[in-house]
């Protein structure tokens, strides 16, 4: 029972719901009428096919009709081991015609989760179900016993046999769904993990049955067929008569199916390896429909033929074939031609008049780029080639393959409403062989394509066809130019190409020649970039030695960006932007920039320079998503900016890494940056690198010329940016050098720094400007909010956030263990014996290394999970911090033992001067070796501040005088903590949460809102007590209250203890609200 209750709490939000898929196919033998027609005294009345599904669940006495949004399970059910539900399902033939049906159960969708053991799981792996005939009434144990021997997990689909029902007949089955009691924490979702959810589907399909008679018997509707396996499906195709509909069963893989010839004399099916036949038109397929089902897949449908020696007839003649709602697997490997195709027509010896492929799907894995969804072409060495006409491909979804279709020679083709993603070649290829051509109407409309290589449409041999390509949307087109729709060889036909919307992408290759979309206007003196390939070619163009001969002087030209550019994280070679008037971004965005080099001058631009006219402007540009790594002089916009004037540039979500001179905008230069923004980014010089990292600029100097005009850096914003370097780092400019001959200096004014972290390994981190060379740079009227400036020491990031406040970031196991070392060395690390930027860290009240009141304004923040892997460690001394905030992270697998001769406090932490919150502890085992006098708690032996939102699981503590599951002793409050499977043992005062609680003055000690599950709280036993005591004082929650306070709203489940009270003892005169 203990395990069950614990599990229930963890799975209270697990969801199991039913999505119902009801389908009914009445066949296509004739139209179904809804009323009657009378002629004299003879009445002709249409029969109707009408199937319904009803259900009963617990608490229902009447049957309820199942609809598309019915949930047949209990609302808000708490699925835990032993939970069982019984649902009765009734299939009713309410029409006048006999029918046959199939019932399927399958998982429509599922959300997985992570269990308390940090393992991924799906609920469908642990819940089981079974189906028995009849309307059964069970107890819980009877229900499980009835199906347990044959029950399967919910992730295993079920299909009933094909069952016949005459008019007004019913069939009832009982479905039992249960979670076995053997399920353990493998299906127990950890706190904060996604809620495990299953949508379970019912699929009921019905079609006509050979029952009713006409003048020739009862077989007129025999061609409405349900096939439950691959062999049945192939047999149905081989025997299909006109107007046959073949319906697949849910969750079955049918492999490869063939529509193939039949020998006219022997009436046997022949295979399709180009056999020699003597008969002509051996197989006629007329009005055949293949319909898919949920979860059913087909690897391929091949329509292929043999070879008729010396004949001009057809081996297979198709008239109106429909493939509807079929999902094709991408596992098909047979390649009778240069491409693998799951819908394959060998047009060498096939006549096709009427083919529709609709609502089907093929999702490839992007490595089968010879996979063509629909292929109709000549195969083999035939002496003639047929055509096809009236082909419709509509509302299909394909991705990760070579192309949607390849069709050669056809009349009347419609391709509309399809979704096409990530194709390797022409998405739609229509091309003729042997000088033949298209005719009739070719309509390609309303398709959506994304990630297309080569062309969206390539049509050769258009001939007399009337071609319409319109209202298509093509995203991320990888072709080099605008020629994404190419139709050639029109001979009497027409082309309408309009209202198609396209956006370009880049495949990482620089075009071999200048794209048409890169326009050089020698009159207006502009270079217009109108596509991504044009931008990729820019470096080639602007550094062409023949530029002057072809276009004139560069310094007369302005470069204009007229489109957004997505570089797709392909390797980028920085552009040398030299001697142009300006690069005008026109507020367009360059995204997903990647520069990864060991060379200097890394960025979108290698250098922005202009020796001929003094400066080059870069204006009104956005860069979103960048990874730029280089050696020296590294920045997102430019590595160098020797004569660049940068205005209104925004850089977002960037990572910048270099050895020296690293900046958010540019790394080194004597240019300027104004009214620009760097946000959500990180600028880093790694350990072992050199210096000078800045949120805007790494190193900035004047131009070295005699000047009396100051260089102004103003109006910029650096927001949510981290700057890290071994030495010399700042929020704006790391090292400004104002050493001009003429006396002009750099002014860094009216800039804003928000939520910025600046870290060095020494004390050289600075908020605005670091290492002001010669002290001449003017830094004024800048503002900063929510900043952290500091250093990294002992793998801890020690960051000042205000005059007397700061944050210590713990990002590793080693850093956590070094907190005590930081405490001991605090004064020598930060005060330096004299006032400095870190003077606020120095001791107060004359202390020298042992007085830690100066820590009060500091918070320790845990930034990752910590696993000690079973190691034995000493208690970690937090010093006198204001708060240890775990941010919901977990510390696990540690053993803490204290020295009985020197230590009286046992716990993961020594936290007697700190508040602790938002922390998870798992498998932590604490032993206070001095049983006579030790104070022990899993979190800390003592604490004189607030402890809240602590979760402790599978842990234990053994102490002496004062022992608790969280804290042993303290002037504290314990709020909203949860202990699960925790053992507390001690020698005197002990409690599930705290052994001894007190308060000073008029303060109160409160213990409220806590939860204890499956815990043990008791004395050490064996006659062992704390020194001088002869009894235990035990409380389920608190051992001893020695203050006023509140101890209520605590939940205790399945506790093992000798105590009968929540509080073991309340000192005389103290009032505790319970």
DSSP 375-437: EEE--SS-S----EEEEEEES-EEESSSEEEEE-SEEEEEEES-EEEEESS-SEEEE-STT--
Strongest mean pLDDT among 39-43, 76-80, 535-539 = 535-539
Please give the pLDDT value at position 570: 93
61 Cβ contact list (under 8 Å, min separation 6): none
Q: Does domain 518-793 have CATH number 2.160.20.110?
A: yes
Please give the pLDDT value at position 14: 41
Answer whether residue 680 shows pLDDT above 60: yes
| Helix, strand and coil percent figures for the chain, each rounded to 5 | 5, 50, 45
The residue among 230, 391, 373 whose CA lies nearest residue 297 is 230
The residue among 370, 405, 369 whose CA lies nearest residue 388 is 405
In this prediction, residues 1052-1057 reach a mean pLDDT of 94
41 Cβ contact list (under 8 Å, min separation 6): none
How are beta strands 457-460 and 485-487 bridged, if at all? Answer: parallel
By the 8 A CB rule, do 379 and 338 touch? no
Please give the pLDDT value at position 371: 58
Answer whether residue 905 shows pLDDT above 80: yes
The residue among 53, 114, 37, 111 whose CA lies nearest residue 87 is 53
Which CATH code, of 1.25.40, 2.60.40, 2.160.20, 1.10.530, is assigned to 865-1073? 2.160.20
Please give the pLDDT value at position 564: 92
How far is Cα 63 from Cα 85, in angstroms, rounded to an integer? 16
Question: How many other C-beta atoms lie within 10 A of the C-beta of residue 978?
Answer: 19
Reported confidence tier of residue 636, pLDDT bands at 50, 70, 90: very high
Phi, psi of 97 (to 5 degrees): -110, 145
- 211 burial level (CB within 10 Å; 0-12, 13-18, 19+): middle
Reported confidence tier of residue 792, pLDDT bands at 50, 70, 90: confident
In this prediction, residues 878-882 reach a mean pLDDT of 76
Phi, psi of 783 (to 5 degrees): -125, 150
In this prediction, residues 214-228 reach a mean pLDDT of 58
Answer yes or no: same fold for 518-793 and 865-1073.
yes
Reported confidence tier of residue 444, pLDDT bands at 50, 70, 90: very high
How are beta strands 428-431 and 361-363 bridged, if at all? Answer: unpaired
Please give the pLDDT value at position 109: 76
Beta bridge partners of 1062: none
Kindly write down the DSSP assignment for every residue of 456-484, as one continuous string: SEEEE--BT-EEEEES-EEEEE-SSSS--
pLDDT single digits (tens) 944-968: 889 999 999 999 999 988 999 999 9
Please give the pLDDT value at position 305: 64
Reported confidence tier of residue 39, pLDDT bands at 50, 70, 90: very low
Q: How far is CA 9 from CA 4, 140, 695, 906, in A?
A: 9, 21, 48, 31
Reported confidence tier of residue 634, pLDDT bands at 50, 70, 90: very high
Question: How many other C-beta atoms lie within 10 A of the C-beta of residue 412?
Answer: 19
Kindly write down the DSSP assignment for every residue of 577-618, as one continuous string: EES-SEEEEEEEEEEEEEEE-SSSSBSSEEEEE-TTTS-EEE
User: In this prediction, what percent of the chain has a pLDDT beyond 70?
Assistant: 78
Please give the pLDDT value at position 214: 45
pLDDT single digits (tens) 409-428: 778 989 999 998 887 678 88
Strongest mean pLDDT among 210-224, 367-381, 540-554, 826-840 = 540-554
Domain spans of the chain? 2-32+47-208, 227-504, 518-793, 865-1073
In this prediction, residues 39-46 reach a mean pLDDT of 36
In this prediction, residues 203-218 reach a mean pLDDT of 55
Strongest mean pLDDT among 539-543, 603-607, 830-834, 898-902 = 603-607
Answer whether residue 581 shows pLDDT above 80: yes
In this prediction, residues 104-125 reach a mean pLDDT of 81
Answer whether residue 470 shows pLDDT above 70: yes
Gyration radius of the chain over CA positions: 39
The residue among 736, 807, 805, 811 whose CA lies nearest residue 766 is 736
Tokens of 401: 């393959």
Please give the pLDDT value at position 47: 41
Reported confidence tier of residue 938, pLDDT bands at 50, 70, 90: very high
In this prediction, residues 1021-1044 reach a mean pLDDT of 86
Reported confidence tier of residue 617, pLDDT bands at 50, 70, 90: very high
Beta bridge partners of 87: 175
Predicted TM-score (pTM) above 0.85: no
In this prediction, residues 907-918 reach a mean pLDDT of 91
Return the minimum-mean-pLDDT range out of 13-22, 472-481, 695-704. 13-22
């Amino acid at each position: 029972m203990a395990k069950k209750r614990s599990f229930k709490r963890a799975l209270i939000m697990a969801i199991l719901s039913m999505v119902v898929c009801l389908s009914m196919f009445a066949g296509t033998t004739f139209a179904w009428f809804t009323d009657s027609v009378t002629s004299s005294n003879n009445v002709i009345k249409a029969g109707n096919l009408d199937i319904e599904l009803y259900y009963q669940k617990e608490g229902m006495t009447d049957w309820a009709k199942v609809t598309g949004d019915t949930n047949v399970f209990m609302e808000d059910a708490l699925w835990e081991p032993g939970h069982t539900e019984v649902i009765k399902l009734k299939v009713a033939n309410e029409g006048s015609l006999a029918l046959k049906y199939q019932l399927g159960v399958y998982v429509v969708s599922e959300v997985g989760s992570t269990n308390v053991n940090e393992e991924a799981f799906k609920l469908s792996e642990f819940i089981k179900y079974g189906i028995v005939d009849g309307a059964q009434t069970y107890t819980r144990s009877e229900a499980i016993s009835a199906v347990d021997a044959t029950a399967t997990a919910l992730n295993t689909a079920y299909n009933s046999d094909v069952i016949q029902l005459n008019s007004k007949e019913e069939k009832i089955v009982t479905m039992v769904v249960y979670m076995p009691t053997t399920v353990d924490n493998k299906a127990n979702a950890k706190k904060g993990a996604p809620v495990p959810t299953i949508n379970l589907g019912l699929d009921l399909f019905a079609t006509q049955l050979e029952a009713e008679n006409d003048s020739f018997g009862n077989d007129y509707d025999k061609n409405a067929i349900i096939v439950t396996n691959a062999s049945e499906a192939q047999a149905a195709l081989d025997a299909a008569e006109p107007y046959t509909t073949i319906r697949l069963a849910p969750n079955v893989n049918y492999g490869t199916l063939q529509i193939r010839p039949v020998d006219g004399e022997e009436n046997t099916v022949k295979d399709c390896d180009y056999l020699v036949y003597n008969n002509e038109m051996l197989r006629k397929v007329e009005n055949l429909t293949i319909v898919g089902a949920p979860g059913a897949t087909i690897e391929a449908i091949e329509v292929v033929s043999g070879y008729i020696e010396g004949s001009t007839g057809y081996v297979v003649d198709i008239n109106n074939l429909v493939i509807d709602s079929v999902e094709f697997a991408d596992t098909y490997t047979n390649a009778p031609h240069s491409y693998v195709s799951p819908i394959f027509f060998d047009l060498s010896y096939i006549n096709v008049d009427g083919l529709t492929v609709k609502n089907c799907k093929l999702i490839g894995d992007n490595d089968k780029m010879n996979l063509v969804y629909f292929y109709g072409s000549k195969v083999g060495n035939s002496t003639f080639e047929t055509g096809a006409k009236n082909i419709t491909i509509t509302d299909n979804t394909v991705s990760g393959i070579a192309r949607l279709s390849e069709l050669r020679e056809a009349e009347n083709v419609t391709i509309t409403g399809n979704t096409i993603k990530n194709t390797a070649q022409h998405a739609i290829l229509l091309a003729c062989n042997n000088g033949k051509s298209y005719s009739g109407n070719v309509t390609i409309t309303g398709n959506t394509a994304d990630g297309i290589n080569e062309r969206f449409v390539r049509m050769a041999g258009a001939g007399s066809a009337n071609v319409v390509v319109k209202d298509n949307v093509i995203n991320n087109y990888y072709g080099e130019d605008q020629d994404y729709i190419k139709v050639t060889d029109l001979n009497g036909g027409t082309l309408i190409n309009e209202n198609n919307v396209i956006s370009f992408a880049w495949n990482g290759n620089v075009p071999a020649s200048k794209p048409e979309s890169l326009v050089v206007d020698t009159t207006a003196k502009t270079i217009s970039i109108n596509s991504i390939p044009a931008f990729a070619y820019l470096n080639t163009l602007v550094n062409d030695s023949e530029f002057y001969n072809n276009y004139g002087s560069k310094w007369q030209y302005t470069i204009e960006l007229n489109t957004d550019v997505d570089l797709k994280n392909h390797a980028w070679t920085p552009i040398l932007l030299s001697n142009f008037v300006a690069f005008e971004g026109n507020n367009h965005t360059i995204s997903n920039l990647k520069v990864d080099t060991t060379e200097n001058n890394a960025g979108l631009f290698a250098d922005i320079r202009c020796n001929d006219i003094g400066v080059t402007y870069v204006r009104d540009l956005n860069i979103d998503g960048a990874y730029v790594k280089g050696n020296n002089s590294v920045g997102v916009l430019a590595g160098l900016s020797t004569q660049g004037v940068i205005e209104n540039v925004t850089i977002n979500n960037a990572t910048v890494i270099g050895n020296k001179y690293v900046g958010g905008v540019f790394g080194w230069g004597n240019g300027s940056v104004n009214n620009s923004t760097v946000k959500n980014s990180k600028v880093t010089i790694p350990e072992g690198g050199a210096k000078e990292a800045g949120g805007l600029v790494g190193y900035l100097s004047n131009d070295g010329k005699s000047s009396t005009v100051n260089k102004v850096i103003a109006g910029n914003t650096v927001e949510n940016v981290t700057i890290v370097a071994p030495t010399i780092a700042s929020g704006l400019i790391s090292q400004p050098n104002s050493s001009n001959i003429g006396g002009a200096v750099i002014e860094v004014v009216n800039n804003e720094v928000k939520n910025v972290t600046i870290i060095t390994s020494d004390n050289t981190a600075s908020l605005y400007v670091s290492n002001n060379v010669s002290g001449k740079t003017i830094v004024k009227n800048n503002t900063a909010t929510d900043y952290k400036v500091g250093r990294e020491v002992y793998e801890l990031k020690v960051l000042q956030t205000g005059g007397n406040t700061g944050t210590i970031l713990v990002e590793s196991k080693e850093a956590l263990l070094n907190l005590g070392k930081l405490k001991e060395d605090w004064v020598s690390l930060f005060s330096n014996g004299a006032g400095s930027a870190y003077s606020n860290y120095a001791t107060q009240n004359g202390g020298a290394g042992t007085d830690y009141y100066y820590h009060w304004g500091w918070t320790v923040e845990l930034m990752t999970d910590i696993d000690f892997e079973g190691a034995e460690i000493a208690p970690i001394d937090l010093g006198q911090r204001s708060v240890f905030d775990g941010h919901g992270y977990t510390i696990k697998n540690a053993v803490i033992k204290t020295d009985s001769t020197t230590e009286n406090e046992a716990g993961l932490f020594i936290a007697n001067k700190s508040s602790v919150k938002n922390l998870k502890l798992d498998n932590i085992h604490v032993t206070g070796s001095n049983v006579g006098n030790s104070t022990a708690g899993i979190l800390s032996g003592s604490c004189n501040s607030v402890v809240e939102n602590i979760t402790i699981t599978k842990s234990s503590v053994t102490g002496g005088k004062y022992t608790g599951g969280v804290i042993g002793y303290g002037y504290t409050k314990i709020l909203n903590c949860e202990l699960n499977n925790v053992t507390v043992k001690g020698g005197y005062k002990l409690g599930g949460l705290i052994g001894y609680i007190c308060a000073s003055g008029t303060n109160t000690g409160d213990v409220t809102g806590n939860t204890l599950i499956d815990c043990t709280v008791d004395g050490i036993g064996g006659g062992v007590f704390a020194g001088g005591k002869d009894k235990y004082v035990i409380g389920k929650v608190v051992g001893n209250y020695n203050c006023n306070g509140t101890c209520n709203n605590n939940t205790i489940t399945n506790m093992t203890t000798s105590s009968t009270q929540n509080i073991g003892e309340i000192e005389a005169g103290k009032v505790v609200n319970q």
